[in-house]
Chains A and B, each alone.
Chain A
Amino acid sequence: MKKICVMFRSAPHGTSKGREALDFALLSATFEQEVSLIFVDEGVLHLLKDQQSELIGGKDYLATLKALPFYDIDSVYACKQSLADFGLSHSLLSIPVEILNDETISAHLTSVDEVLVF
């Protein structure tokens, strides 16, 4: 078992990075790795609720974020500064996340075995 942190840095929909990051995270969890997710930079836009991916020909993978507890992925973090940069307050987010500042993000990244950035 390894501690794997999946970092979402890219906005949803414009590329498939977020979708393939989530695929990897869920698969890792089913293989009984200790998985954490962290949303930073444009990646925090994944957390905005009521998005309709189908309207731009996408797959609604964001709905899957709600299933994270069923995969035992309980460590879900968002960057405080990035949320502020995009004007995202807690009430606009689709899932519960723990909001971290730069120092705690750094500490988390050093505490895991591998970080995959998407």
Chain B
Amino acid sequence: MSKFIIQVNGPAYGTSASHSALRFTQAALSSGHEIHCVFFYQDGVYNTTDFNLPASDEFDIVAAWKQLALEHQVSLVNCVSAALRRGIVSEQESKENGLPHWNVGSSFVMGGLGELVTGIEAADRLMCF
């Protein structure tokens, strides 16, 4: 059994990167592997906004990530600098900066790139999507 860290660089919609990452993570978990965390970087941070509203007949990737985190206790970490420069803002940062809104759901935590690096060190294998 291996311990994976998953890096998601593609947005929720527009490329299949996030969906491939989700499927890989689900398959790894169902095969008994461990997931250190899922780290959202680059455009991957667009997976973490609560303001995605796909049509009812479309796959809701944000909901799927939340479900996965809930079911398997997988930590979903957002790169804070990549997120903030793309308008992906947590409640805490919103309040600290006097913004009227925030969009990051409670299933995701904001973290630094250091968490990615220490995760890579702790895991057997990094998978990038």
Contact = CB atoms under 8 A, between A and B. Distances in A.
The judgment on whether A and B are partners is: yes
Given A16-B42, A17-B42, A117-B128, A24 B113 contact: yes
Nearest to A117: B128
A31 B42 contact: no
Contact of A20 (B41, B118, B121): B41
B109 interface: no
A118 B7 CA distance: 12
Contacts, number: 39
Contacts of A23: 81, 113
Contacts of A1: 121
A20 B82 CA distance: 8
Given A20-B42, A23-B81, A114 B126 contact: yes
The binding surface of chain B is classed by DSSP as: helix
Interface residues of A, number: 16
Interface in B52-93: 81-82
Nearest to B85: A16
Interface string B2-35: 0000010000000000000000000000000000
Interface string B101-129: 00000000000111011101100011010
A31 B118 contact: yes
B128 A31 contact: no
Interface in A28-68: 28, 31, 33
A90 interface: no
A2 to B, nearest CB: 6
A117 B82 CA distance: 17
Contacts of B114: 27, 31
10 contacts: A2-B121, A20-B41, A20-B42, A27-B113, A27-B117, A28-B120, A31-B117, A31-B118, A33-B120, A116-B128
Given A4-B120, A20-B41, A28-B113, 5 more contacts: A23-B81, A24-B113, A28-B117, A31-B121, A116-B7
Interface of A: 1-2, 4, 16-17, 20, 23-24, 27-28, 31, 33, 114, 116-118
**Across chains A and B, which 9 residue pairs bring their CB atoms closest together, nearest first?**
A27-B113, A31-B117, A114-B126, A28-B117, A20-B42, A2-B121, A24-B113, A116-B128, A114-B120
